[in-house]
Amino acid sequence: MTNDKKRKRDYWDEDPFERFLRKFFGFKSPFEEFFKEFNEMMRKFMREFESFESFEYPFEKEILRERKGPVKSFVYGFSITIGPDGIPRIKEFGNIRPTPAGVVAKEEWEPLSTVYSENDKLRVIVDIPGAKKESIRISASETDVEVRAEAEHRKYYKKIQLPEEVIPESAKARYNNGILEITFEKKRKAKKTKEIPVE
């Protein structure tokens, strides 16, 4: 292979984001390793998802039979956020999951959620479009919160690990336009003191 052809191949094989950073700023992305792992994860998921087409019809019929109403769809999505510690976090949502054994469909949808830490409060936002207010059930401990809800053609369930301990009894929840907002007071940590002897 000639050098020109190799350069052209490398150009198109390279990540366009990396190419942009190098061309205009002269450096590589600090997230290069993360994106490599992320791309590998997506390739693996797409391979698993392609195998979904080869599943036997009895499996599909069994899953579809369990779902109520006319809407019988399978959804998978994710969001990427950078935490305060600079570490990227991937959050999945939908009603299917890629696993080592293949794609697994779940009856309950896992909604997208976000946790905000604000001074002495912790705010949890859960996206449950179409859910009926009277069907929403919330239970919380000092370290996590569980949300269950029902819409016309789907059920939602999500267990959210909290980054800081909270006071469950302080929780307040409100629901508007498919968005559930739960606010907790953070648990105050008692300061430990130690008497220091003078030598």
Nearest-5° angle of CA 169, CA 171, CA 177? 155
* Mean pLDDT for the chain overall: 74
For domain 111-189, give the CATH number: 2.60.40.790
Alpha helix (H) residue ranges in 29-109? 32-52, 57-66
Q: How many CB atoms lie within 10 A of CB 22?
A: 13
Residue 182 near residue 138, CB atoms below 8 Å: yes
- Read off the pLDDT of each residue in 157-167 and give the average, rounded to a whole number: 92
State how far the Cα of 53 lies from the Cα of 104, in Å rounded to an integer: 13
On the question of pLDDT at 180 being above 90, the answer is yes
- Read off the pLDDT of each residue in 161-180 and give the average, rounded to a whole number: 94
Nearest-5° angle of CA 83, CA 86, CA 87? 70
Residue 108 sits at φ, ψ, to 5 deg, of: -95, 140
pLDDT number for residue 45: 64
State how far the Cα of 156 lies from the Cα of 142, in Å rounded to an integer: 22
pLDDT number for residue 52: 53
State how far the Cα of 56 lies from the Cα of 122, in Å rounded to an integer: 46
On the question of pLDDT at 70 being above 50, the answer is no
Q: Which amino acid is residue 196, in one-letter code? A: I
Answer whether 0.75 is exceeded by the pTM: no
pLDDT number for residue 58: 45
Residue 44 sits at φ, ψ, to 5 deg, of: -65, -45
Strands 179-186 and 155-161: unpaired
Reported in sequence order, the residue ranges of 16-154 that DSSP labels E, i.e. its strands, are: 76-82, 88-99, 102-110, 113-118, 121-127, 137-140, 144-150
On the question of pLDDT at 136 being above 90, the answer is yes
State how far the Cα of 83 lies from the Cα of 85, in Å rounded to an integer: 5
pLDDT band per the 50, 70, 90 thresholds, residue 19? low
Domain ranges of the chain: 111-189
Query: In this predicted model, what pLDDT tens digit does every residue of 27-57 receive, in sequence order?
Result: 555 566 666 666 776 676 666 556 555 544 4
Query: In this predicted model, what pLDDT tens digit does every residue of 90-131 receive, in sequence order?
Result: 667 666 666 666 666 667 778 888 899 988 999 999 999 999
